[in-house]
Structure 1
């Protein structure tokens, strides 16, 4: 219901003032109006329509303070783009030169225009840039202050780790802001040389701006590992540098752990400084102590060096040469699993490879489970104006899978948030339910998103039924507390019953589009069969009869 989506200060419609509710609904709708979404599909080499060109111009210029000369330059580059794409393809096929150019979201970075160039990204040794680190600091501030995220994750206890997901594509767009976000939670910053290349790390002192050091569990995509492998070592050392801030206290108060601690900190080399920070202000150190004591009790004969280093591991990902967390492939094969925990097991098995100083992706499933059990909050950054959470399968694969794995290991779903930094002037951290349900209304139930796709024939239908619906199913399996019966009822109303009166039922039932319609019906029937959607008998009968009619 709208009551659930608004989540107005945790109160329902019956508990709040009408004026306040109206104010909040206004904000809710304004967010929709300000949300960018694709206008149909990109067709290679097809010239812009006049309306499309105006819409794109307004989208870009809304995010910039530009002169008339700059406006004209952007307009001309947009007009040039379709022909430039064709020319670049032909040059490539003929073995000729393709002009290089910056690659990024054109709304975020107009310098990415015209398209059709051989795009390049920032040198990894520059990430995070000073700009990227400043953005990361701003994003981390409300989390450190306890204004965003799970407040329980700011205290010594069983579940206080922050899970941060790192993707290569967003690191290109945001100049390493999510890397910086994780560093700032740890209370660490890069040291740059005069050319902007990172040459080391510096531990920030605890103060009003850095009230504590939060413990961060990093998970990385395969592409991030390939492109920014040196950053996995850097983040490992950032975590160790935070641990080092309580070294003197740990050696004094827990002498039995001294050898293990020194072994863990060896990877820092000359970066070791030592420190006497209290454990209630340094959750990296507090968790290291608690986990080392627990493991020592379970394995009294363990080698101290092994104990110290393994307990300090905080960077995990897919095995070298592998890609994807595995949830996206398995969730489609609904007959291959019965319980959601089976998918969690796949995520854990695939993502349990440790990276860092002296580590090249060794499988450590037990250590990964131990870290997952302590996660109270997960974060995924989004620096794109084009891609949402339900138009690709990576989001539920990594974030949904992460949350499901934490739930399976600890028995509790973590809090989960999406960091939107596609516009540096409007940085946002929103709860996952708010983002998913907002995107559902702003895009997939919105006639302004659907109608342009209907002009694209089968390709448009496929975007609706073989992509959106499939990815909605992925979120259903990983986050059933968000994708409720009401979501399926509204999706059915639009895509099966044509409640928006767009002629969508006829469009999806025409020609090859009927295969897409059949897939939509099949996914809905599977959602019912597996107990995720408690549909009434009339709905079940309608879907089953239409599905049968399509395939017989």
Structure 2
């Protein structure tokens, strides 16, 4: 093991060297701006109605040191500068790597990539994902001299050297509500590409537009609808709610919930129109579903929206297309070395580096009740990914059970701080087992049900004289088939 003595290293540096002088100045400047951060003071000033100077927001881990000093009244960005020129270059590489991966694995180009376009792409990464979408369909941004977006131009097929890849985009509610100009620009580009005088085999956007027009007997505008979200004024993808409520029996149920919630089209001149049938048609041609990570500060277990949307879209595409649909995950944490990996590999990466990392676990335990609850939430999202995509390895569930339920020290932590969190973890594991989403190892099978009864006993003791019904370890599965109103609303939207 290398023992780095920072003080000794600093002594050996020639601070008269111009390069080191510049580095020293930058370090001192950063340090001063950190020292000048006045978060508590600004908070109190805001409470008393005082003025708080404005400042930019962003991820310092992505080189945004202009966010220092913190404690300012931060603003986001100018949405009319998205994507930036540097983000466009990263987006191009993402698009090419995605195409290359699919070509190597499947022996053909992907015809349609279904993308979960989150606001974090715009607010944290300056529109890398937006640029990726543009390069997939074969257009590029055109900027004014001041960096603002003027529009786009079509990349000729000869220069592109490949077919134009179609896209199906599920935008997040925050993207929809805060960046309508970005949505409209992409929508215009899709319409333009679909109208090009090119053979369908070289232009999958056009190919699928013609197919949708033929199947629905509707116009060109209908054939080019590619951007969808939940109903205006609503958020979430619906799928995560069904998963958490155990309101599904098979992939078909989750696919229908996803379609029902997200079949509202957005674009220039169309904002939140119910277009469930068209959404279903475009999902049938999807070959790959996709999202990406931009920072180690956030990951695909950080919110239920990740599996609810990306996972729900994967379930819907697989069910509707009746074919294998790949699930990919991009990685631009290091913009110099972007990667495209399988969703299953991304799940493994985050499980190893965080969820099952002893240092991470100990850090969460320091937060007592809240830490226990957050561990439970993340494990619930692991289950959500398996429910929607079946991309979680059995060993992951085995190790979750061994680490949090079967480990006596950790079990005692939950008992003292938040037994309800451990009950939720164990119940989700039992549900995964009962649904045959997971085949537990023998030692886990022997321990899990016994320990669940023990945990249930803790809770009963803590409830004392509280009366009423409790869910307990049973999983009551209810779908739209059992609820007439729900069933009729689903049928009305999806017919």
Question: Which TM bucket (shorter chain)?
Answer: 0.7 to 0.9
Alignment of 1:269-348 (within 5 A): 277-295=198-216, 302=217, 306-334=218-246, 336-348=247-259
Give the match for residue 546 of structure 1: 454
Give the match for residue 72 of structure 1: 28
Q: Distance in 2 between matches of 1:289 and 1:388?
A: 38
Change (3 A) 1:66 1:476: farther
Give the match for residue 385 of structure 2: 475
Q: CA RMSD in A?
A: 2.2
Asked whether the 8 Å contact 1:420–1:427 carries over to 2, the reply is yes
Report the CA distance between 1:506 and its aligned residue.
2.1
- State which of 53, 60, 79 in structure 2 corresponds to 1:106: 60
Asked whether the 8 Å contact 2:331–2:340 carries over to 1, the reply is yes
Change (3 A) 1:538 1:146: closer
Alignment of 1:320-399 (within 5 A): 320-334=232-246, 336-399=247-310
Report the CA distance between 1:309 and its aligned residue.
1.8
SS of residue paired to 1:391: coil
SS of residue paired to 2:158: coil
Q: Which runs of 5+ in 1 are unaligned?
A: 1-64, 247-276, 296-301
Report the CA distance between 1:187 and its aligned residue.
0.6
Asked whether the 8 Å contact 1:144–1:210 carries over to 2, the reply is no
Q: Distance in 2 between matches of 1:508 and 1:291?
A: 53
Report the CA distance between 1:163 and its aligned residue.
1.0
Change (3 A) 1:119 1:179: same
Change (3 A) 1:517 1:145: closer
SS of residue paired to 2:287: strand
Change (3 A) 1:458 1:341: same
Asked whether the 8 Å contact 1:141–1:209 carries over to 2, the reply is no
Report the CA distance between 1:78 and its aligned residue.
4.1
Give the match for residue 40 of structure 1: none
* Post-superposition CA distance 1:477-498 (Å, at most 9, x none): 1122x22332211111111222
Report the CA distance between 1:66 and its aligned residue.
7.6
- State which of 426, 436, 439 in structure 2 corresponds to 1:534: 439
* Post-superposition CA distance 1:171-208 (Å, at most 9, x none): 11111111110000111112211222222220011235
Alignment of 1:243-254 (within 5 A): 243-246=194-197
TM-score normalized with structure 1 length: 0.75
Give the match for residue 427 of structure 2: 522
* Post-superposition CA distance 1:474-521 (Å, at most 9, x none): 1121122x22332211111111222xx8x32221221x3222222222
Q: Distance in 1 between matches of 2:387 and 2:356?
A: 20
Q: Distance in 2 between matches of 1:391 and 1:123?
A: 26
TM-score normalized with structure 2 length: 0.83
Deviates more, 1:93-102 or 1:337-346: 337-346
Give the match for residue 401 of structure 2: 492
Q: Distance in 2 between matches of 1:528 and 1:543?
A: 15
Q: Distance in 2 between matches of 1:370 and 1:390?
A: 30
Q: Distance in 1 between matches of 2:432 and 2:336?
A: 40
SS of residue paired to 1:207: helix
Give the match for residue 261 of structure 1: none
Count matched residues.
436
Asked whether the 8 Å contact 2:138–2:160 carries over to 1, the reply is no
Q: Are 2:148 and 1:197 aligned?
A: yes
Q: Which runs of 5+ in 2 are unaligned?
A: 1-20, 461-495
Change (3 A) 1:229 1:405: same
Q: Which has the higher contact order (CA 8 A, sep 6+)?
A: 1
